[in-house]
Structure formats: structure tokens, C-alpha cells
Structure 1
Amino acid sequence: MTSQTLREARKYEETSEKLIGKEERPDFHLTPRTGWMNDPNGFSYYKGRYHLFYQYYPYESKWGPMHWGHAVSSDLLHWEYLPCALAPDEAYDRDGIFSGSAAVLPDGRQLLMYTGVLKEHQERDIYREVQTQCMAVGDGIDYEKYEQNPVLDQRDIPEGSSRFDFRDPKMWMKADGTYACVVGNRPADGSGQILLYESADGFQWKFKSILVSNHDRFGKMWECPDFFELDGKWVLLTSPQDMLPEGFEYHNGNGTLCLIGDYDEENGSFKEMQNQSVDYGIDFYAPQTVAAPDGRRIMIGWMQNWDACGIRSPEEPWFGQMSLPRELSLKDGRLYQRPVREFDAMRRNKIEYADVAVSGVVKLDGIKGRKVDMELTVRPEGGQELYQKFAVRFAQDDTYYTSLSFRPRESILKVDRKFSGSRRAIIHQRRSLVNTADGELKLRIILDRFSVEVFVNDGEQVMSAAMYTRQEADGISFFADGTANIDVVKYELE
């Protein structure tokens, strides 16, 4: 039976969606059907299509009681909206359906696992959210909540751990047909930990181990964990809250963390070997991955930063967008990311320039647009002294632009959107240390109306940022202090 709460959400989104024009959205980044979107949920491949659910409040373009929005795609780039999948309509989840994941049952039905939220009165005017893990089963459109929810609650967490910070289950089926999941939690020291659970049937879950403990190294609470095998190692992705910066690797606030190491499945223990950021730009959080049918590991994230939600007016009909889906690989102990290969089929009208000397500002014929895939190599001009700075500006007109600038002597790449049209004093720039040999750097810059994603050195690093500059600002220009030499290949995207 569909609840009244879910019926209302479905009716509302169907009507409201019609008021948003195609040109008012990105072309190939998923946005909410209407209203608010945050974390990707239940990223999965089911019945021949990719399914992506998302944290969703249909009624306003700001955070509210969370639902699960739902979209499907055959190529990860062109999405079709399905009706809202879950609504906060039970006693144990009436204050929100938080993040979670999806798997397939042996009988072919889709299994969803999510965090149910219930506000509990503490004292005076203080309420706290009790978080439990719950299941729902469905056919890819309609889902029924498990009658014995919640399946994990405060009785299933280690002693001293918080029942108020116990969320975001990421579930997978193991080789033997049983299930496992990781959940973010906060231990007694107030820092983060990732808990591991196992289930024979996907419904009855039991605690296995504390997979990883933060010990106050990377931020505090660890949200939205994901855990998978990649190129012979195991990778844990998680999003720590309240980070302190560490050089140019980790920045203040909510960040993304990748731990690479070895996993002892029998004991449920993980041995970390390397750590790094997942995205070095301004807007990227809560990534989730799926194993594609061809074996690729594909990741998508919320292309937004909690501290910068004021960049867009709540009067707008939608807020929040997903990143480009990215193929993951490990190389030299490092996580590499590239746009999914399906993306190359969207390239049209190639324009190419080689060996262009840039000193001061240079514009090139045919290099403009807001839906663009541009490959750019910059290097010193032969026989010239190393340039001081190189920059590319885009989404540009006489008033606005967003820029990417590189200082080869410090090996620092910076994304800066302070002139993008925002009227808020939020985070507008972020810097990253990049690998460069003698001032040479390789960039792939992808624009889609309201965002930029920069893949550095064939995916060694990525920098993502949202920008809501008016669409008429479609200029692209290059600048060098000193003389730089560039190769440019630019495609329009359809």
C-alpha cells in the first residue's frame, strides 16, 4: 500500500516538474525532479538500467524531511525521473529517510537499505535524531517497507557509541551470496568509525566488527561510507565532517576521504596503507559507487558543499546536482578518476589548436560555450623563462567569469568563482597541489551550464565546482603572466 505521504509527494513532483524548462537545468548532470537534492543513494544496476536514488525534499529548494527521489538511465548521463521511491511515513522514520544503498535479492526484487530518523525529546526544547537502519523491497518503481523494521538499532552498536550518529548503510552482496554493509557511526571519543555488519538473507543483520576507526585524524563523524575492491586493493570512501585542513590535501569543513589498503574478510579488519582526498575542488560530497555489468567501478557524488548552499536562492525551482559519473582505478597507490567512457559519445564539432603562444589575454575562434569538453595542455614556451602564472577563464562575459589558474613555481592549481555572480560570502576558491614537470600540466575541463569539473593529469586529481552564472556568459579566454604555450582540443556536447 502506498501511504498518503508518498502519494502526495508523487503528485506534487509530477506537477512541479512541468514548471522547470529543459534549459533551466544542466544537460547531463542529474538534478532533483523538483525542490532539494543532496547525497546520492542506492546507486545500482537493476533490470538493465542504472538506478540512482537521492536525498530529496520535493516541496522546497531547501533541506526538509528527507524522501528518496529516483531516476534511471541506460548511459549514466541522460536520466529519466521515476516516482519518489520512499517517504517518511512510518513511526520509526517519520522525521526522515536518510542515505542508504541497494542490492538485488535472489528472487529478482530490489532491496533498499536506508537510515530511518526519529526525533526524540531530550530536555527542555532539545530534540535529537535517533538513527536506525531499515529495509524496503520493490520492483524498481514501488517499494514496500519491511514489516520488522528497523533491522539495526542501538542494541547493534558497540558500547559507548552514539545512537544519534549511526547512518548511511552501504550494502553489497558477497561472492557466496550473503550480504555485508558498512555504516557510519560515532564512538565515545566523538570522532568517527565505520561499522561492519553481515546478513545471510539481507534482512537479519548482525554486527561483525569496527572496520576502521578515525581516532580524530580526519575530521569528526564519518558519513556516507562505501567499501569495495579495486585493482587488487580495498578502498574505503567516506565523507568526514568538521575537517581541519592539512596542507593542500584536506580542507576545512566537510570533505571527502579515500583510504586504500588490505581487507581481511574473515576477521572484518582493514589495514590502511594510503589516504587522499577524493575531490580537491569546492563542491563534492557523499560519493557512492556501483559495480557496472562490465566490471568497472563507477562513482557519483553530490556536487555541492554544505557550507556553500547559500550560493543559489531558495526561490529557484531546484537545488543540488550530481557530479559526472567517474570510472575509478588505482595507479601507483593512488585513486584515479575519469569521466565514464559513455561520455565521449556526446562530443561534437571538434576544434583544435596546437602550439599557441599565450602572453597576456588570448581568445581563440570557436572556443566558447557552457556545454563544453576541453582538453588543454600548458607548458613553457620553448627558449623562454618559466611563466609566472597561467589561467583559463570560462562562463565569461564583460561582468562575470570563473577561473582556473596555475602557478608552476609552486605547483598550485586554483579554482575561483568569486566573479561568477554569487552575492554571498561563501567559499569561492580552493587550491590544490598538482604534479607538474617543468611547468607542464594537462587539464580536461568539462562544463555543463551550472558546473565545472576539472580532471588533472589524466585523472590523478579532480576539482569540482558549482556556478550559477547567467547562461549568456559563454566566453572562454586564456591568460599568461610571461609566455606559456598551449594545445587546445574543444568539443561541444550534445
Structure 2
Amino acid sequence: MAISNSILHEVRLFEEKGKTDVNKYLKPSFHITAPIGWINDPNGFSLYKDEYHLFFQYHPFDIQWGPMHWGHMKTKDFITWQHLPIALAPDQSYDKAGCFSGTAIEDGGKHILMYTGTAEEIQPDQSTIIKQMQCIAIGNGLDYCKLDNNPVIDETLLPDGCSMEDFRDPKIWKEEEAFYALIANRSEDGSGQLILYQSLNLKEWKMCSILIKNNNEYGKMWECPDFFKLDDKYVIIVSPQEMQAKEYEIHNGNGSLYFIGDYDKNEYSFKRELTGVLDYGLDYYAPQTVETKDGRRVVIAWMQTWDNNINPNYFSWSGMMTLPREITILDGKIYQKPIKEIENYRHNPKQYSNYELSGQLSLPEISGREIDMEFEVISGNYQSVEIRLAANNEFHTSIIYNNTTNILTFDRKYSGLRKDVVCERQIKIGYENLKLRIIVDKYSAEVFVNDGEKVLSSLIYTTLEAQNIVFLVEGTIMVNINKYDIIVEQDD
């Protein structure tokens, strides 16, 4: 499939040239990052011809957000990724202000991308109207052509009173002979809702229902919906904006929630049974899932939020994704664990079994900035335990567990930041003993608590010379520690 569009051709050349100036050894080794410029939401996470494709919101010309393109990568194992040329550029009247987020499926040997086109229209009084519309591009895993009749869903298919400016991020899937799209929208009450549409040919669509409404319960606008069956339940994922804090569960600003319930395919209705938080960390937004060939449900997200941009301004790239995770339902809520394929990249194992920790100490060979470490308290009489990551005499990031209050704290205030941003987050743990799995990849830490019941994802842009791991215990504990180096050679 030849690319004749000059705008897309030029931006592909720009990206290819810019990548040669980036020192890959200063970038994370097994997390997706921007080739150059800026990335945010993951898009089009999908299986196509036995490979997993991930697209992403992308502004290659600057390390700040700008007119959105779709960057593109693929993988066979979720750990090593191959960069592919940019898939979409804002080059049509209906997407000239940006090709916003969306999803993808394989159908009939073709790779179908569904995305939000955004356009700004100047009115006679010089005011500006922003319109968001749903569009489709079809390709072969490398090159994509936008449909001639785009946009396929616009404001004419919205219920009365709903926003045409906040109408985005379609989740597309196919059941039997029909295609469906679940699209985020701002309702007449100013908060989010998800609208379900159906098509038989990808070109003509009709509205089926408003599947779920926020009713101003969780923030305002909901972004980046996902919808899938997991075991015998259905799951909706959304990323609410402008949330207000609720104890240890909901934090202020932008976050990601899931709803577990039942879906009636005949009535196009969803009955919510449980609401949960997908990630409790400082940097997590816009998750998107894919079903693997062996039936696992895998989720990936942008490891940042809009209010907390701490990317160093001397980097030539901005933004990274979380490590892909496998999600399951256990005891009625979602559990997450790191993608199992990471175990193929574990090297240099170091184990401490039934080992006593007290006071402040470091352990031989327990260090590094590209690691997978399991830490379990098996017994002890103690008030607190702290693990300091990416540590030296000047910097560290702390994971602190208070055994009296059962509060786990992630704190990066001493990580080298020079911006006044959120640095601390706390969660409540309902277990007597602590079990953590900590994955660090240079500038990030992902903490899986008690076998993935809760997860915290956060960025730590500490200088890479800070390699130490330090333990501080008020009291005495007996622990099991398993630590591995993760060694990955990424695509240039």
C-alpha cells in the first residue's frame, strides 16, 4: 500500500532523521517511549497477523503536546518493540486539529483503525467551534488509508444536549456480523457518559444506547473507554478528569477506574456491580487492553497525567508507557501482574531467604535501575519498613509501609525533582504482612502490592548514577527477597 500523502511522508522522514540523534542507552530499556518528541495515550492496542500493534498519541516536533499524530510500534512478546513509521497525520479537513485517540481490530485480513478527528471552525463572529468526529482508516499493518466518507460518526448522531466538542476515543469491536463502537461524550449535565453505536459496514452507523452515565459521580468528562468480557463478567474502563479525592481510593485530578458488571446485548444495557481503581500511582492514565492469542487480557497505559508533567526539559523525548500487565478478576475485583514474558529477560538472580532486616542497610547485589524485585515480609516485630530505590548520597525514592496503620506510601520528593508537583501517594492495605513486586526501568517504578491487588505506577527522573537500594526498618523483620536484572536490547 503506497503512501501518496505528502504531509504523512514528510513527517515520517522527520521522525526517521530525528531518531538518529537520540541516545537509546539513556532511555528505558523495556518500556515504550517516544521515538522523539511527545507521546501520550496508547491507541489501537491490537493483534494483527500474529503480532501485537500499539499506536499512540504523538507529536514528533516538540516534547510538549501538539497536533496529534498516531505513532506506531509492534511486538511479539510485549517486551521488545519495533518502531514503525507514523500511521496517521492530521491532513484532512475533519482531523486537521489532530488525530485523537481510538482503537483497532483485525477483520478480513485488514487492520481497521477507528479514531477521533478534531477540527476547529471559525464562525462569522470570529468565535471558534471545536468538533470531534469519529473516523476510520484501513491498512496492512504498515500503511493506512482513511475512508472517503469520513467522518463516519459526527454530531448528527448525538442525543440532544450532548457535547460535540467532547466526543472522542472510540472503542471498536465486532460481534457476529456487526461492528460496535463505544464512544466517550460529555452529557447535558456536564459530566461523562459512554454512547454505543452499531454498523454493518463501517460506513453507516446508528446509535444503540447510552451504555453508562457518570451523573457527576466520578469527576467530569470520561476519556478513553475500553469494554471487554473477562471471565463471566463485563468490564468498562474509563479515565475521568477533574476527580475529587475520596480517602485512599480516589485522588484529585485525572485517574483511571473500572466498572465490573453484566451486559445485556439485546437491550444494549450495562448493569454496574462494582467500581474500582486501576492504578494508585502518581503517573497513570488512558489504559487500553488487548486479548492475547492464548486468551489473556493485557492492559497498557500512559505513565503520566496531564497535571503532573515532570519530564526533564533537556530530554529529546517526553512520555512513556507502563509495562503491559495481565488482568484477572479475583474476589470480585481486578488484580494485575506484570506480563509473564518479562521473566524471559531476567538475569543474575540474587536471593535472600528468611533473612533478618533491622535498622538501615544495603544488601550485596541488591541494586540497579533495570530490575524485577520481589520483597515479602514473612514475620517480625516492627513499626515500619522503607525501601529506597534509585538511591545515592543525594537522591532516593521511598516505598514506606507502616505496620500500625497498614498504610503504604510512595514518595519521590527526594528523587531530584525541581518542579512543585505531586510527589506522594498513599494506599490502605488489608494484610498483616507485606508482599511487593517492584519493577524499575531507569525512570519508572511500578509497585505490585499483595499479588497485584493494588498497583502504583510512578516516574522517577533521577540521575542514572543513583543505583543503590537501601532498606530501613523500625524494628526487626524476616524477609524473602528475590531480585533479577532485566536485560533487554531494544530496537534502534
Give your verdict on TM over 0.5: yes
Q: Which category describes the TM-score, using the shorter chain as reference length?
A: over 0.9
Alpha carbons 1:6, 1:84 under 8 Å: kept: yes
Q: 1:294-316, CA deviations, whole angstroms, 9 ceiling, x for partnerless residues?
A: 1111110001121111x123331
Aligned residue identity for 1:90: Q
Matched, 1:430 2:425: yes
Query: Hey, what does 1:272 align to over in structure 2?
Result: 272
Q: Which amino acid letter does the alignment assign opposite residue 408 of structure 1?
A: N
Q: Give the 3-state SS of the residue equivalent to 2:101 in structure 1.
A: strand
Q: Partner of 1:193 in structure 2?
A: 193
Unaligned runs of 5+ residues in structure 1 are none
Are the structure 2 counterparts of residues 431 and 122 from structure 1 closer, same or farther at C-alpha, using a change threshold of 3 Å?
farther
- Structure 2 residue ranges without an equivalent (≥5): 488-492
Deviation of 1:388 (Å): 1.7
Residue 121 (structure 2) aligns with: 120
Q: Is the 8 A contact 1:60 1:314 kept in 2?
A: no
Q: Could you say what secondary structure the match of 2:17 adopts?
A: helix
The one-letter code of the counterpart of 2:95 is D
**1:61–1:315: 8 Å Cα contact kept in structure 2?**
no
Q: Which amino acid in the other structure matches residue 417 of structure 1? A: R
Q: Tell me which residue corresponds to 1:8.
A: 10
Deviations 1:360-411 (A, max 9, x none): 2121001000000000002442xx4xx2211100101111111101112211
Partners of 1:359 and 1:170 lie apart in 2 by 50
Measure, in 2, the Cα distance between the counterparts of 1:5 and 1:100: 21
Please name the residue that 1:139 is paired with. Answer: 140
Aligned to 1:43: 45
TM-superposed CA distance for 1:481, in Å, is 1.6
The answer to whether the 8 Å contact 2:312/2:461 transfers is: no
Distance in structure 2 (CA, Å) of the matches to 1:122 and 1:269: 38
Q: Does 1:173 align with 2:168?
A: no
Partner of 1:489: 482
Find 1:83's aligned residue among 78, 82, 85: 85
Residues 62 and 314 in structure 1, CA contact (< 8 A), matched pair in contact too: no
Deviation at 1:484, TM superposition (A): 2.4
- Is the contact between residue 71 and residue 79 of structure 1 (CA under 8 Å) also seen in structure 2? yes
- Measured after TM superposition, the shift of residue 354 of structure 1 is 1.8
- When normalised by structure 1's length, the TM-score is 0.96
Alpha carbons of structure 1 residues 346 and 123: separation in structure 2 relative to 1, 3 Å: farther
Alpha-carbon distance between aligned partners in 1 of 2:100 and 2:257, rounded to the nearest angstrom: 20
Q: Percent identity?
A: 46
* CA shift for structure 1 position 120: 2.6
> Helix, strand or coil: the match of 1:306?
coil
Matches within 5 A, 1:327-342: 327-342=326-341
Q: Distance in 1 between matches of 2:412 and 2:19?
A: 29
Q: Hey, what does 1:95 align to over in structure 2?
A: 97
Map of 1:300-379 to 2, 5 A cutoff? 300-309=300-309, 311-379=310-378
2:231–2:329 contact (8 Å) kept in structure 1: yes
1:40–1:301 contact (8 Å) kept in structure 2: yes
Letter in 2 for 1:377: E
Q: Relative to structure 2, which stretch is displaced further, 55-64 or 128-137?
A: 128-137
| 8 A Cα contact 2:233 2:261, kept in partner | yes
- How far apart, CA to CA, are the structure 1 residues paired with 2:18 and 2:422? 31
Q: Which residue in 2 is equivalent to 1:62? A: 64
Note if contact 1:392-1:404 (Cα within 8 Å) is conserved in structure 2.
Answer: yes
Alpha-carbon distance in 1 for matches of 2:128, 2:360: 56
Question: In structure 2, how many angstroms separate the alpha carbons of the residues matched to 1:203 and 1:344?
Answer: 43
Q: Which amino acid aligns with 1:29?
A: H
* Equivalence for 2:463: 470
Letter of the 2:405 counterpart: E
CA RMSD of aligned residues (A): 1.2
Matched, 1:290 2:285: no
Tell me if 1:153 matches 2:154: yes
Deviations 1:237-282 (A, max 9, x none): 0000000111111100001010000000111100000001000111
In the TM superposition, residue 355 of structure 1 has moved relative to its aligned partner by 2.3
- Within 1, Cα distance between the matches of 2:51 and 2:86? 17
- 2:490 counterpart residue number: none
1:447 to 2:440 alignment: yes
1:111 counterpart letter in structure 2 = I
Distance 1:379 1:283 in 2: 30
Q: How does 1:157-236 map to 2 (within 5 A)?
A: 157-174=158-175, 176-236=176-236
Q: Deviations over 1:89-138 (max 9, x none)?
A: 000100000000111222x1111100000013368775342100000011
Looking at structure 2, the residues matched to 18 and 48 of structure 1 have their Cα atoms a distance apart, in angstroms, of 29
Aligned to 2:399: 404
**1:191–1:423 CA distance, 2 compared to 1 (3 A):** same
- Residue 480 (structure 1) shift: 1.1
Q: TM-score, normalised by structure 2?
A: 0.97
2:410 equivalent to 1:415: yes
Give the Å deviation of 1:487. 1.3
Is the 8 Å Cα contact of residues 400 and 409 (structure 2) preserved in structure 1?
yes
CA distance in 1, matches of 2:311, 2:44: 26
Which whole-Å CA distance do the structure 2 matches of 1:368 and 1:269 have between them?
A: 51
SS at match of 1:19: coil
Say whether the 8 Å CA contact 2:47–2:106 is kept in structure 1: no
Match in the other structure for 2:260 = 260
Aligned-partner Cα distance in 2 for 1:92–1:53:
20
Q: 1:261 to 1:12 in 2, by over 3 A?
A: same
SS of the residue 1:367 aligns to = coil
C-alpha distance in 1 between matches for 2:127 and 2:254: 24
In 1, distance between residues paired with 2:283 and 2:430? 22
Closer, same or farther: CA 359–142 of 1 in aligned 2, 3 Å: same
